[in-house]
Amino acid sequence: MSSSGRSGPSPSASRTGSAGANPTCRCRAFRWTWKGEYQEVVEPERLVFTLSDQPGDDAYELITVVLTDLGDGRTEMLFQQRGRMSAEQYERAGQGWSSFFDRVAERLVGA
């Protein structure tokens, strides 16, 4: 995900859209539009998709998610993002993704 100066709390978020469309994400503090397409779907092992929060730009990030069944109802997720950002931007993006996945885990525990 490119860093474009958007910041602020996002304790709740919703997403609409589908692959190849321009999904919109609305968070409490701001709104933006994501654009991307699924490149590869291998159930239940691998998901590869492009993603940009700059829909007018042709530059995309490539996101790869590899899922590994660990048994006992547990799944390991290896998440990789590649593209044109600087090392500093990838560091911030990694922190953002980690925060997002921490929130997902919290919600799953409470479900």
How much is the pLDDT for 7?
33
Give, for all 111 residues of the chain, the pLDDT tens digit.
333 333 333 333 333 444 444 445 555 566 667 888 999 999 999 999 998 888 788 889 999 999 999 999 888 999 899 998 999 999 999 998 899 889 988 988 887
Domain holding 62, by residue range, is 13-110
If you search the block for the tokens 């998709």, which residue do you land on? 49
* 48 domain-assigned: yes
* 5 domain-assigned: no
* Strands, sheet with 38-42, edge to edge from the N-terminal-most edge strand: 38-42, 46-51, 61-71, 74-82
Rounded to whole angstroms, the Cα distance separating 65 from 67 reads: 6
User: What's 80's domain CATH number?
Assistant: 3.30.530.20
* 90 domain-assigned: yes
* 4 domain-assigned: no
How much is the pLDDT for 34?
80
* 1 domain-assigned: no
* 2 domain-assigned: no
How much is the pLDDT for 25?
52
Number of domains, the chain: 1
